[in-house]
Amino acid sequence: MHMVQLPQDAQIETTIHTHIIDADRLSRDGTARILAGSRFFVAGEHSDLESFYRATKDGQNPKSLLMIDANALPEDVAETFSALRQVTGGAFLVVLATARQGELLYPCFNAGADGCILKTISGAALIPSLNLATLGQRIFPTQLLASVMHTATAGPRPHTGPTPAAARLSNREQDILRCLSAGWSNKQIANRLDLTESTVKVHLKSIMRKIDARNRTQAAIWALHYGVSPEDERQP
């Protein structure tokens, strides 16, 4: 996952009540320990969504965060997210999953999750990732985009044909976007396309402006959504 620095003018809430929903008690306890002392106050640990619903009152803690294990989600993710936000008064929703659950993450993101995080993330990186998600910068592990491409394209596409933004991307910008979607760094993209890193950065700024993306993750998700296939996974 490409980490993005917090904007200098970012307004961070003092405390966000956080609920951890995971059937694995060891995983819940470990996550709670990582969050201890941060602004993400662990208000509850729940083995499943039903136990969370029983413990939560309508409209309670509108600035809450739900960290949900992917295994706890039913098939209809969009309906579940809608119900959770109604019950909590608009909680932030972050889904945690293993690398093998990549096929579950794109539907979660497409259904409105504020973030999708791999459980391989380090404790030091978890809190900054949650900060991004709760500041409106939706996050997704770019290294999984290639693995979820099949899932995203197997069903009906929400958009067909080129969009005005896609039509404005140059061939070089599309090449760079494909590399970015494969999870490559600027240096790797530069090596593959025989460019300087500074040139890659200039192109990335142009791409993000054209597709209205706020960070690399959003740009990669946009590419996946509109059928810009990731570059060959073999890195230069």
Q: What sign results for the dihedral spanned by CA atoms 213, 41, 110, 149? A: positive
**The total number of structural domains that make up the chain:** 2
Angle, CA of 179, 185 and 186, to the nearest 5°: 85
Burial class (CB in 10 A: 0-12, 13-18, 19+), 5: exposed
Please tell me the predicted confidence (pLDDT) of residue 213: 81
Task: Answer yes or no: is 201 within a domain.
Answer: yes
* Full-model pTM: 0.66
Task: Answer yes or no: is 75 within a domain.
Answer: yes
Cβ within 8 Å of residue 96, ≥6 positions away? 22, 67, 68, 69, 70, 116, 117, 118, 119
Where in the sequence is the domain holding 81, given as residue range(s)? Answer: 16-140
Please tell me the predicted confidence (pLDDT) of residue 141: 81
Please tell me the predicted confidence (pLDDT) of residue 236: 53
Of 140, 172, 192, which one is at a domain's C-terminal end?
140
The answer to whether 181 and 225 are in contact (CB under 8 A) is no
Coil vs helix vs strand at 74:
coil
- Say yes or no: 71 and 169 in one domain: no
Task: Answer yes or no: is 6 within a domain.
Answer: no
Residue 212 has which token pair?
A: 């209205």
pLDDT at 212 over 60: yes
Query: What's the CATH number where 85 sits?
Result: 3.40.50.2300
Please tell me the predicted confidence (pLDDT) of residue 146: 56
- Say yes or no: 53 and 168 in one domain: no
The answer to whether 2 and 217 are in contact (CB under 8 A) is yes
Residue 26 has which token pair?
A: 């060891």
The DSSP call for residue 6 is: P
pLDDT at 130 over 90: yes
The 10s digit of each residue's pLDDT in 138-195 is 888 876 665 555 444 444 444 444 555 556 788 899 899 888 877 788 999 999 999 9
The CA distance from 140 to 142, in Å, is 6
Q: What is the pLDDT averaged over residues 83-102?
A: 88
Query: What's the CATH number where 205 sits?
Result: 1.10.10.10
pLDDT at 17 over 80: yes
Angle, CA of 91, 94 and 96, to the nearest 5°: 150
Residue 124 has which token pair?
A: 């030091």
Task: Answer yes or no: is 233 within a domain.
Answer: no
Please tell me the predicted confidence (pLDDT) of residue 110: 81
